[in-house]
Structure 1
Amino acid sequence: MPQFSVIVPAYRVQAYLGECLDSVLEQSCADFELIGVDDASPDGCGEIFDQYAARDPRVRVLHLPENVGLGRARNAGMEIATGEYLLFLDSDDTLTPGSLEAIAERLRQTGDPEVLIYDYARTYWDGRVVRSRDAELFRPAPDRPDVFTIAEREDLLRLLMVVWNKVYRRSFVDKHEFRFPPGYYEDTPWTYPTLLAAETVTTLDRVVVHYRQRRQGGNILATRSRKHFDIFDQYDRVFQFVDAHPQLDAWRPLLHRRMVEHFRTIGTHPDRVPADMRREFFELAEQAEQRHRPAGAPEIDPRGNWRSGSLGQAARTARRWVRTAKPGVRRVVAGPVLESYQRVQRRLPVEEDLAVFASYWSRPPACNPAAIHAKLRELAPAIRSAWVVKSDRQREAPQGLQLVSPGSRAYREVISRAKFFVNNVNFPDGAPKRPGTVHLQTHHGTPVKKMGLDLQDYPAAGATMDFEKLLQRVDRWDYSLSANRYSTLIWERVYPSSYRTLEFGYPRNDVYYSAGAAEVLAARESLGLEPGQIALLYAPTLRDYRASYRPHLDLERFAAKLGPEYVVLNRAHYLYDAQTPADRGGRQGSQVLDVSGHPSVETLALAADALIADYSSVTFDYANLDRPIVIFADDWEIYRETRGVYLDLLSGRPGETPGAVARTEDELVEVFRSGAWDDSRATELRGAFRERFNEFDDGRAAERVVRAVFLGEDTPVPVLPLHERTPAPRPGA
């Protein structure tokens, strides 16, 4: 029998679940079992639990057939728990290192009490860790016994009434038949009865739980809805417990007072009960107050004084904001005509048949937005579209598109009136989201390098980033497109908000499955490649620690060493386009072709026999073609330290390295001369890489997006299994 059963229910928390489980499994105390309860989560939580269970025998997994809610999911975990003590951990929170060992030692010192209470700290997206305001209650004092009943330490009832800041002896829980009820305030009828019934309680002066403060969508109790009316049923259950245990009658006045305070907190909070339901809420609160008022106790008004509550605080904050904003408001009113025009447009109805597209900070149409746009024209031609493209780059855009320049009158009109917005980066701050509009963030690659909030620890890349503004932009997203589960887990963690993830694959990769031999030949001919030539696409990523583009290879020398049958297609990163103009292209020498200005990296990939990449996301896209990939990483240590990475592409591990690896130019030459670039080992590594990262790319990603986002279809087109897909043939096939 383990000492601890750590019960972790999970529902829609795949981005945080791994960190939660790691925090338990990496504890210095190993005398525990971890019970993961998959509450019929529609995302990857169940799969994550299973992966951990396959690696660690201490993990047991329970998959519930239907979603039952947090309380009943905990009950299901308790039913199979075998530990002496129960510990409940929410799946987006973590245990601090050494906590189980500290708890075990405290239990030993205090004779294995029925309940042990410990402290927590709130953790925020910006890295702040703030211990609870009740930390003083845990500090030892001469008048505080080590073991006590709650009557001796009534001050502990001031603590946050949650289940996860305590451990409970299993025999005590079974004796009283404690179980969680259904509902959203399920902790209330658990915590009060357990504390009141316990004959031996102790505390631990330690932060055991890091309580994650999610920005959006993490807690139903932090949303405005009718679900907060559940609190009345839960307090009825608390008093039913007292009714069944007459020895607890003395607690009625305190419970009555705490209940009314709880009602007041919920009812007066501006982000809990909707304004049009607040009157009904307080009427029910008054009935509950009267129903549970002890004989002879004074009446307590649940409404209280709103000016001293959170509504009053919100009102005072709003007044201060208005006072400080007045000069800015005056400037806007007297501002440019275009801004006035935009304000007028925002007052007009949203146009349900208008979509705005952009890619790569208003560069010419490309990437996922371009592929989605093409499919939208096919499946929903009635939806009009406008592309945001810088005026000096519009000549590079395909003919027949409506183009608007950033900041122009036409731009302000479409961003004010459109229903749909599609971008692979964020729209600028001057395009605030209107109610009823739909924003799709497609992203532009599977991340090797650190992204979003993770850049806070990497000043070379994140020093100029305003993370507060970044998150405000993320809050506009309704959908986030993902090419694989690996990306999903990263996006949801580093861009935390309430959007819905679409695991549909990348539309820009559809062409790798729709193209045939004719398209491959046409791609090569458009570049002037001769039959029999071996084209190597060299596509390095951006170096944040450098101000300008400089190939890490002497491309002419490298190609010459390989022989005359090799041609190198040199593709600089798009953020270097000021140094690699759009009209740049052509031979740099007899065997090197500069394709930095080519409008389509997908066409270049179709034409290439192999890819030479470093840490670029093009690696994951090119893997769809099942053609050789060589990683050339001569600055791995510098890049890893300055930008940070999620993957070690040089490790040689299946599912992480896509093929042969070279650290120097000479090693790279040898990779090709020896045939290692396309041997059985490279094929094996590429297969594992494709299985992990190309799981949703099957040629129909754009269709899934259009049907879900624009046409409102609920059931996506099924993903074709990897072994049934046929990518475009190799050039020599």
Structure 2
Amino acid sequence: MSRFSVVVPAHRVQGYLRECLDSVLEQAFCRTGGDLELIVVDDASPDASAAIAAECAERDPRVQLVRLPAHAGAGPARNIGADRATGTHLLFLDGDDLLLPGALEAIAEALDAADDPDVLLLGHDRVDWWENVRPGGDDLAGDPLAVTVAPWNRVYRRAFWQEHRLAFSDGPYEDVVPVRRATLAPGARTAVLDRPCVRWRERRGGSFAKTPGRAHFALIGRYEELLAAADPADRARLVPHAARHLLAVLDDAGRITPGDRKDFFRGAARLYRTYGPAGPAATPGERALATASYAAYEAHRKSRSRRSGLARRLKQQKKKLRARAMRLAYRADLRRPLDPHLAVYGAYWNRGISCNPAAIHAKARELAPHIRGVWVVSSRNKHRVPSGVEYVIEGSRDYWQTMARATYLINNSSFPGGFTKRPGQVYLQTHHGTPLKKMGLDQRRYPAGTHGISFQKILDHTDQWDYSLSANPHSTEIWERVYPSTAYEALEAGYPRNDVYFTAGRSEIAALRAELGIADGRTALLYAPTHRDYQKGFSPRVDLERFVRALGDEYVVLVRAHYFYGADAGLRAHPRLIDVTGHARVEDLCLAADALVTDYSSLMFDYACLDRPIVTYAPDWQAYRLARGTYFDLLSGRPGETPGAVARDEEELVRLFRDGSWNAAEATALRTAFRDRFCPYDDGGAAERVVRRLFLEGQPRS
């Protein structure tokens, strides 16, 4: 018997279904001893939904496809799936939604911790067609009746579902009756899992929720059915939630047209007056229902809209006043003396403690302990700050005070908010890579990748620098031209973040490999493609599952998506594919890997310090050069330009590893020339050189 039976009705969801089913089948829980069955019910869909489900069932024995001869609707389709289920627990997932990574494992742990409850309420988030993800908004610790009414945000013990003869209704709002009855069932044991497990994908069109019409009046009938059968105690609990649900639908222009509003309100009012509380109603909306006064409700709605607008304006005004107060305080702090022992650090637009600034900070604590280092991080990234590291939140009073008083400023990008650099402050710009793609003012010729960049702001920022850190002569040359200013001095010291490549010992590397799950004797490849300005989201140009299977059991592939794309790469489940996108230190991944497979990422220049094979996989080189521009031809095969073996398509990439040319003499010779050109200063002592120059040897040239 399976632990989980996941039921998915499918009707007109061909654009979403494959991702939905993959999100279930790729759950890590299934690779660690758990089991599931996935029941897809083709509700006589006229599109390719059935074909997609059939293809999935053919390749995976856990998938069962049920075909209905005629369109029955989501409710009956789910009921048929539930009747076929054999698992101990039921999950219902819509064909256009997703089960988030790690959800089944978390659900299993929550069920065990709560001693197998009848109903487990799940958190969710929602994503629109622009791929903007927002929290679901449910307070799972509160009243279960207040949780979003949906089939997919709860897990049912199948025996409980059968014992109470729960079933979805036929027609719109088919989930209201079983979801509410399960919550109100006598003796029902309910638990919560307060983490997003399901992603509700909001469609721009084509869904029932986006189709206005009188079909939405069915919601009134669903609550009529529930309230008529409920005992007085349950009725008293349910009525306020029914009223809120009905009024929310009434206010949704995507469901109720202006011409239908009055009729819908009257139907809701009849229901409320029949089953509502004997005492006074709790809210203005309920009071309008109790008096059946549509005019009163409209007046309340308009008043609420005005109050909402006023609240927004007050919030904006408060934000402006706070910013003004911050600026006044900042200007006062600018008149205070600089703290000669204060240094402020930032990296990657306040994302956390990393890159060259992190290596400099660590070395300064060792060699210049009199320097107090404070990091700038955003509020959403403060959890990334290790214990014992001092930090301020960008835009806060502490941030502005620190920026005004610090003598030393160290960043690999820029500090937020447009601070004023004072006389006596020393700004080190560390950068965060060797330039292959066009940078700075050179980007003006490639507007597709600039996304509204202000080149004047780039120049203003450049004029603040005192030092521009360089990893090699190529970088020095490029930085001087694309960030033109007489204010700064090139500091040709190497990259501090690369020091670890020269200082890490065998035992440290072995520990890193073990931590990542790389078995002894396996060759680890780090696949780390870069961001593309013309591509939204992580979409590797290679079928990674097919690639790792083609390589054979002796290989494992670590996949590192660019940080622009979030905390995971959304990989399919495979025991030799390891998603390391969320790993805190890319340097650890490089140390653990036996070879690097990348495209145009600046990581290749750092990895060359290790003198290990680098494979360039560049299927879209021409498109990348045209969209962003490059400083040299990475695929030329000339010494100093190409770091090793090159593949232009997936078949060629597999062939490089099968015939050994990824690590042949020709590739080694290219790597040596590449390393000589781009790693001449890196030797394990870059951080010390920077710390001594910045903190211990005085000020930059005037």
Q: TM-score range by the shorter chain?
A: 0.5 to 0.7
Distance 1:334 1:615 in 2: 43
Kept after mapping to 2: 8 A contact 1:585/1:596: no
Q: 1:687 to 1:713 in 2, by over 3 A?
A: farther
Please state how far the C-alpha of 1:334 moved relative to its aligned partner: 9.5
Distance in 2 (CA, whole Å) between partners of 1:509 and 1:613 is 18
- Does the aligned pair in 2 maintain the 1:587–1:593 contact within 8 Å? no
Deviates more, 1:331-340 or 1:385-394: 331-340
C-alpha distance in 2 between matches for 1:333 and 1:546: 39
C-alpha deviation, 1:591, in angstroms: 1.4
Counterpart of 1:504? 493
Report if aligned partners of 2:496, 2:685 keep a CA contact under 8 Å in 1: yes
Instruction: Name the structure 2 match of 1:92.
Output: none
**Aligned equivalent of 2:442, options 439, 454, 467:** 454
The code of the aligned residue for 2:474 comes to Y
Q: Counterparts in 2 of 1:227-238, with a 5 A limit? A: none
Write the distance in 2 (CA, Å) between the matches of 1:367 and 1:671.
Answer: 31
In the alignment, does 2:397 pair up with 1:412? no
* Deviation, structure 1 residue 403: 1.4
Rounded Cα–Cα distance in structure 2 between residues aligned with 1:615 and 1:351: 42
Normalising to structure 2: TM-score of the pair? 0.53
- 2:380 is the counterpart of 1:402: no
Q: How does 1:557-596 map to 2 (within 5 A)?
A: 557-577=546-566, 580=567, 588-596=573-581
Other-structure match for 1:654: 639
Distance 2:698 2:404 in 1: 26
Deviation per CA, 1:570-616, whole angstroms, max 9, x where unpaired?
10111222xx35xx899841211110010000000000010001111
Asked if structure 2 preserves the Cα contact closer than 8 Å seen for 1:586 and 1:595, the reply is: no
Is the 2:613–2:644 Cα contact (8 Å) retained in structure 1? yes
CA contact (8 A) 1:613 1:619 kept: yes
Change (3 A) 1:335 1:606: closer
Tell me the equivalent position of 2:157.
none
Partner SS state of residue 347, structure 1: coil
Task: Give identity over the alignment, percent.
Answer: 57
Q: Which residue of 2 aligns with 1:478?
A: 466
Q: Judging changes above 3 Å, is the alpha-carbon distance between structure 1 residues 334 and 548 closer, same or farther for their aligned structure 2 residues?
A: closer
Q: 1:627 to 1:645 in 2, by over 3 A?
A: same
Give, as a single letter, the amino acid of the residue that structure 1 aligns with 2:425. T
Tell me the distance in 2 between the aligned counterparts of 1:488 and 1:615: 20
Residues of 2 paired with 1:630 and 1:669: CA distance?
Answer: 11
The residue type paired with residue 592 of structure 2 is A
* Equivalent residue, structure 1, for 2:431: 443
State the alpha-carbon separation in 2 of the partners of residues 525 and 586 from structure 1. Answer: 21
Cα distance per residue 1:31-60 (max 9 Å; x no partner): xxxxxxxxxxxxxxxxxxxxxxxxxxxxxx
- Cα deviation, residue 489, structure 1: 0.1
Q: What residue number does 2:664 align with?
A: 679
Deviation per CA, 1:704-729, whole angstroms, max 9, x where unpaired?
A: 100011112699xxxxxxxxxxxxxx
1:354 maps to: 342
- CA drift of 1:566 comes to 0.9
User: Is the CA contact (8 Å cut-off) linking 1:626 and 1:686 kept in structure 2?
Assistant: yes
- Checking the alignment, whether the CA contact within 8 Å between 2:359 and 2:687 is kept in structure 1 is yes
Residue of structure 2 aligned with 1:620, choices 598, 605, 608: 605
1:634 and 1:340, CA in 2 relative to 1: closer, same or farther beyond 3 A?
Answer: same
Read off the aligned partner of 1:600 and give its amino acid letter: R
Root-mean-square deviation over aligned CA pairs: 1.9
CA distance in 2, matches of 1:469, 1:684: 42
Paired amino acid for 1:484: N
**In the alignment, which of 352, 355, 373 is matched to residue 364 of structure 1?**
352
Aligned position for 1:700: 685
Matched, 1:605 2:605: no
Count of aligned pairs = 381
CA–CA distance in 1 between the matches of 2:476 and 2:325? 42
2:537 is matched with which residue? 548
Gapped regions of structure 1 (runs ≥ 5): 1-330, 716-733
Rounded Cα–Cα distance in structure 2 between residues aligned with 1:385 and 1:400: 11
C-alpha deviation, 1:339, in angstroms = 2.1
SS, match of residue 524 in structure 1: helix
- Give a deviation string over 1:542-572, Cα, whole Å, max 9, x none: 1001122211111111000010111111101
Distance 1:414 1:593, change over 3 A: same
The question of 1:688 aligning with 2:677 is answered no
Partners of 2:699 and 2:390 lie apart in 1 by: 30
Deviation for aligned residue 1:346: 1.2
Q: Which amino acid aligns with 2:591?
A: L
**TM-score of the two chains, using structure 1 as the length reference:** 0.51
Please say if residues 498 and 682 of structure 2, whose CA atoms lie closer than 8 Å, have aligned partners that are also in contact. yes
Moved more, 664-673 or 420-429: 420-429
Cα offset, 1:381, TM superposition = 0.5
User: Does 387-396 or 434-443 show the bigger shift?
Assistant: 387-396
- In the alignment, does 2:645 pair up with 1:645? no
* Distance of 1:714 and 1:529 partners within structure 2: 46
Which residue number corresponds to residue 314 of structure 1? Answer: none
| Compared CA separation, residues 549 and 478, structure 1 to 2 (3 A) | same
Question: Contact 1:588–1:594 at 8 Å: present in 2 too?
Answer: no
Q: Look up the SS of the partner of 2:634 in the other structure.
A: coil
Letter in 2 for 1:631: T
The 1:356–1:587 alpha-carbon spacing in structure 2 relative to 1, beyond 3 Å, is farther
The superposition leaves residues 462-513 of structure 1 with CA deviations (integer Å, 9 ceiling, x where unpaired) of 2411000110011000000000001100000000012000000000000000
Displacement of 1:422: 0.4
Q: 1:662 to 1:450 in 2, by over 3 A?
A: same
The within-5 A match list for 1:79-478 is 336-478=324-466
CA 1:466/1:332 → structure 2, altered by over 3 Å: closer, same or farther? Answer: same
Aligned equivalents of 1:714, 1:516: Cα separation in 2: 35
1:517 equivalent in structure 2: 506
**Separation in 1, partners of 2:615, 2:677:** 18
2:393 and 2:321 mapped to 1: Cα distance?
Answer: 24
**Offset at 1:683?**
0.8
SS of the counterpart of 2:404?
helix
Task: Indicate which of 653, 661, 680 corresponds to 1:668.
Answer: 653
What is the DSSP-based 3-state SS (H/G/I as helix, E as strand, rest coil) of the residue aligned with 2:334? helix
- Residues in 2 aligned to 1:481 and 1:335: alpha-carbon distance in whole angstroms: 33
Inter-partner Cα distance in structure 1 for 2:540 and 2:378: 27
Q: Residues 654-700 of structure 1: CA distance to partner in whole angstroms, max 9, x if unpaired? A: 11101000000100000000100111111101101111110000100
CA distance in 2 between counterparts of 1:496 and 1:670 reads 45
Q: Is the 8 A contact 1:541 1:615 kept in 2?
A: yes
Structure-2 separation of matches of 1:588 and 1:707: 48
**Distance (Å, rounded) in 1 between the aligned partners of 2:377 and 2:451:** 27
Determine if contact 1:362/1:389 at 8 Å carries over to the other structure.
yes
